Amino acid sequence: MRTRTRDFPGADRETNERLTLDVARDEEAIIHEILELRRTNPMSLEAIGFLLGADPSQVSRYLNGTSSVTLTNYLRIARALGYRCRIVLEMADIGPRNTPPLDLRIASHKVINARRSPTS
């Protein structure tokens, strides 16, 4: 999926890989649920594309996971199928083998101006 190219540049390599994989799995779950909605409530890609103002082939790429998609477009596809989407945010797993959760607080630091003022 294209999501895996979106990384977390502020994290170390191992954490970056873990978080990127988690995001990819979440996106796969969204796509899976939308595909299930299409199976139970058949609607052509042309009809969905018409409602979204997109080409049917673009909608297909969204649902195949081969094109970068915003969360808004997933919500719009679900709405076109007659469903509302509710997002539930859950506490993320701590990580492999007792790894503490990420501390995402930014420590205070002194900013040094790189430009030097001219000396008199």
Please name the amino acid found at residue 79.
Answer: R
For 21-37, write each residue's pLDDT tens digit: 888 888 899 999 999 99
Of the candidates 79, 2, 94, 85, the one whose C-alpha atom is nearest the C-alpha of residue 41 is 79
**Domain 2-80 belongs to what topology?**
434 Repressor (Amino-terminal Domain) (1.10.260)
Q: Are 74 and 86 contacting, i.e. CB atoms less than 8 angstroms apart?
A: no
Give how far Cα 120 sits from Cα of 103, 116, 117, Å: 45, 12, 9
Averaged pLDDT for residues 72-98: 83
> Which pTM value belongs to this model?
0.68
Q: Are 73 and 52 contacting, i.e. CB atoms less than 8 angstroms apart?
A: yes
Sign of CA dihedral 53, 55, 56, 59: negative
Per-residue confidence band for 67, with pLDDT thresholds at 50, 70 and 90: confident
Q: Which residue has the tokens 């994290």?
A: 11
pLDDT score recorded for residue 12: 85
- How many CB atoms neighbour CB 31 within 10 A? 18
